[in-house]
């Protein structure tokens, strides 16, 4: 059983929930940018939530199916059809052998997740099928999918059709988007006014936004507390002795454009970080298009953990709805 | 040296041993990250040692962040009293300095460099007070280096030279990062050397290239069959300058599956090193040359 890729889309890759355990060697966890949406897509087609699916950004692929399967597409809003007949997002539908799934133009959000009953069954690398092109790991030969690829699919335990996640249980960013930040890491490098300005200003998503990180622009430049730079750090006040980066951490090279590291993050480097996006809001970043206005909201650890619990509860409600 | 603890969001604890780089800070970071690994704290998913800091990633649903912080802090005394001794290996890494491939890239990105009129090596030699590029290259490979961190991208080692601080070479990064760096480029930024494990963007100055693969996701290269990443923090490296003929010979040997890097098992004792750097390095070299 397989998917035949007629058109690959812009940068469509095989992703699951990633490969933890190798960040100390520079190999990031990877996996779906919007894990909430990918879990929901797998639930809809009766897969384990960590099954591998396709993640497509901005533009959908065109896929021909070689056998009967059940499919669900979640995440961004993008019209789609099977052999020209419209089908709904956040719902499971049957596709027969020989039929083709294709997509229209993106309406909102950035990434769709295409789950297929049985899950994508390419060979895992280091315990995951997630595609990490820099390290040539996962996916097909470590790269995004290409025209003509034939992607194997596993055997489905169950294939429920006609299920859907009700609109109230779906999750995506607001506009302007709000991303919650726990200040920390090298926050102490900023002056008080710079720290305040970071949260007061409205930023927009820059064109340089991918699986490694999202860049933002438009806010005021950040000022640093004066110091003699430590030995080995480098001359710029935004430099530190190269250290590890947290997922979601916000670095601001030269104090000008913040970069939030995402699932395919570099594991370390020499720029100060002012804190990190809380774990509950990482999914939302994966749905931001360039030029989207963004406000960073300052939270404390209790608020971060409450948001995390709320996200867990949201997924639990979907599980119950589909049970 | 004052330890600083901080959270990186709700899933990471970041521990900075010192703001500045030193072997003392590196050793403390390495032994404390080992202590955290040995403590087997529920919820810990990643432990990443770095040059003078380390990071723990954990699941806050399993252990509350405040409790995790306490558990990690409790281990600091163990790191302080730990012997600053490491059973490790010294590896000879051949380097073709001033090779044609990094030279082409050096010239292609000249407008992003501090000194567009020269090469990276000419610039590095001048700002470090050397009379010639040759003398600078000699200083780069004369004494061994410590792998103080593996990361940035897959399997990339950061290296810190085993010499007195006043002999450390220091070079800024490019003004604006390049969009391209040849695979296996030997680079330099701040007080660190590195080897680019894969082709891609980079901001370190480019000095040369090694023919020895250090990352192989397919695990076909003979010395990477057991694991795709060659380096571990704590490895010791000795650069060995080679010419084009030697470079070509090693490339052919790698392709034929017959290349074996020169490696010797050694013990490194930080106090012994601090007391007698030249003597300690000479002993390391003796072990390597006997391998």
Domain boundaries, chain B: 4-82, 87-289
CATH number at residue A216: 2.40.100.10
* Topology match between the domains B4-82 and B87-289: no
Q: What is the CB-side half-sphere exposure of residue B238 using CA atoms within 13 A? A: 20
The answer to whether residues A102 and A62 touch, using CB atoms and an 8 Å cutoff, is yes
**Which pLDDT tens digits describe chain A residue by residue (323 residues)?**
699 999 999 999 999 999 999 999 999 999 999 999 999 999 999 999 999 999 999 999 999 999 999 999 999 999 999 999 999 999 999 999 999 999 999 999 999 999 999 999 999 999 999 999 999 999 999 999 999 999 999 999 878 899 999 999 999 999 899 999 999 999 999 999 999 999 999 999 999 999 999 999 999 999 999 999 999 988 889 999 999 999 999 999 889 999 999 999 999 999 999 999 999 999 999 999 999 999 999 999 999 999 999 999 999 999 999 98
Q: Write out chain B residues lying below 8 Å of A275, CB-based.
A: 8-9
Helix residue spans in A74-220 (DSSP H): 192-200
Together in a domain, A207 and A157 = no
Beta strands in A61-176 (DSSP E): 62-65, 69-77, 80-82, 85-87, 92-95, 100-103, 108-116, 150-152
Contacts of B21 in chain A (CB under 8 A): 230-233, 241
Which residue among A168, A194, A212 closes a domain? A168
The residues that bridge with A260 in the sheet, in sequence order, are A214, A250
- A320 found inside a domain: no
For residue B150, what is the nearest residue in chain A, using CA coordinates? A25
A197 and A129 within one domain? no
Q: Residues A148, A269: one domain?
A: no
Q: Which of B2, B7, B8 to mutate to test the interface with A (most CBs of A within 10 A)?
A: B8
CA distances B42 to A83, A293, B45, B61, B262, Å, are 50, 39, 9, 10, 40
Query: Do A10 and A118 reside in the same domain of the chain?
Result: yes
Number of H helices, E strands in chain A: 4, 20
B170 contacts B152 by C-beta, under 8 angstroms: no
> What CATH number labels B4-82?
3.30.1360.40
* Number of cross-chain residue pairs from A and B with Cβ atoms under 8 Å apart: 182
Instruction: Answer yes or no: do A265 and A297 share one domain.
Output: yes
Residue A318 lies in a domain: no
Q: Which residue has the tokens 């960590």?
A: A50
- pTM given for the model: 0.95
Q: Are residues A32 and A65 in the same domain?
A: yes
Instruction: Give yes or no: residues A201 and A113 share one domain.
Output: no
Q: Please tell me the distance in Å from A47's CA to the nearest CA on chain B.
A: 24
Q: Are residues A147 and A266 in the same domain?
A: no
Residue-range definition of the domain harbouring residue A74: 2-168
Which of A168, A191, A218 lies at the terminal end of a domain, its last residue? A168
The CATH number of B87-289 is: 2.40.100.10
ipTM of the complex: 0.96
| A295 belongs to a structural domain | yes
Q: Is residue A323 part of a domain?
A: no
């Amino acid at each position: 059983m397989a998917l035949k890729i007629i058109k690959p889309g812009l940068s469509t890759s095989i992703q699951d929930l990633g490969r933890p355990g190798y960040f100390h060697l520079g190999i990031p966890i990877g996996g779906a940018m919007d894990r909430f949406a990918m879990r929901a897509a797998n639930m809809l087609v009766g897969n384990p939530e960590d099954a591998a699916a396709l993640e497509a950004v901005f533009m959908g692929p065109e896929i021909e199916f070689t056998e009967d399967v059940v499919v669900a597409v979640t995440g961004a809003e993008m019209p789609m059809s099977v052999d020209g007949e419209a089908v709904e997002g956040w719902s499971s539908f049957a596709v027969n052998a020989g039929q083709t799934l294709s997509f229209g133009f993106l309406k909102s959000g950035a990434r769709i997740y295409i789950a297929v009953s049985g899950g994508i069954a390419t060979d895992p690398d280091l315990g995951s099928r997630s595609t990490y092109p820099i390290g040539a790991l996962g996916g097909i030969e470590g790269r995004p999918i290409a025209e003509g690829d034939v992607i194997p699919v596993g055997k489905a335990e169950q294939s429920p059709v006609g299920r859907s996640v009700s609109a109230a249980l779906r999750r995506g960013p607001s506009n302007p988007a709000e991303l919650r930040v726990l200040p920390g890491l090298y926050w102490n490098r900023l002056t008080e006014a710079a720290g305040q300005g970071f949260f007061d200003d409205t930023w927009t998503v820059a064109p340089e936004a991918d699986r490694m990180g999202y860049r933002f622009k438009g806010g005021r430049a950040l000022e640093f507390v004066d110091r003699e730079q430590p030995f080995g750090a480098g001359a710029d006040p935004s430099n530190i002795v190269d250290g590890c980066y947290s997922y979601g951490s916000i670095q601001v090279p030269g104090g000008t454009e913040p970069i939030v590291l995402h699932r395919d993050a570099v594991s370390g480097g020499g720029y100060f970080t002012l804190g990190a996006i809380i774990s509950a809001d990482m999914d939302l970043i994966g749905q931001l298009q360039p030029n989207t206005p963004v406000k960073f909201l300052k939270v404390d650890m209790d608020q971060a953990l409450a948001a995390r619990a709320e996200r867990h509860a949201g997924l639990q409600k979907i599980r119950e709805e589909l049970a | 040296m004052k330890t600083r603890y901080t959270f990186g969001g709700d899933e990471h604890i970041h521990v900075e041993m010192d703001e500045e780089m030193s072997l003392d800070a590196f050793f403390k970071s390495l032994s404390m990250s080992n202590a955290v690994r040995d403590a087997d704290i529920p919820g810990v998913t990643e432990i990443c040692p770095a040059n003078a800091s380390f990071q723990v990633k954990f699941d806050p649903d399993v252990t509350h962040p405040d409790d995790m912080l306490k558990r990690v802090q409790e281990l600091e005394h163990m790191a302080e009293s730990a012997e600053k001794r490491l059973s490790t290996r010294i590896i000879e890494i051949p380097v073709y300095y001033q090779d044609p491939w990094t030279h082409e890239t050096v010239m292609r990105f000249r407008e992003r460099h501090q000194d567009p009129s020269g090469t990276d090596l000419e610039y590095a030699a001048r700002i470090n007070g050397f009379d010639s590029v040759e003398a600078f290259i000699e200083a780069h490979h004369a004494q061994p280096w410590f792998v103080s961190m593996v990361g940035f991208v897959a399997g990339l080692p950061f290296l810190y030279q085993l010499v007195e601080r006043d002999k450390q070479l220091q070079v800024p990064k490019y003004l604006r990062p390049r969009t391209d760096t040849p695979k296996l480029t030997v680079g330099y930024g701040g007080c660190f050397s590195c080897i680019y494990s894969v082709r891609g963007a980079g901001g370190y100055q480019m000095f040369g290239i090694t023919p020895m693969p250090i990352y192989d996701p397919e695990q076909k290269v003979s010395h990477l069959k057991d694991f795709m990443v060659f380096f571990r923090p704590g490895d010791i490296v000795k650069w060995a300058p080679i010419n084009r003929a030697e470079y070509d010979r090693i490339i052919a040997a790698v392709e034929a599956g017959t290349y074996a890097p020169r490696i010797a098992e050694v013990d490194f004792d930080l106090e012994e090193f601090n007391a007698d750097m030249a003597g300690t390095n000479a002993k390391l070299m003796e072990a390597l040359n006997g391998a």
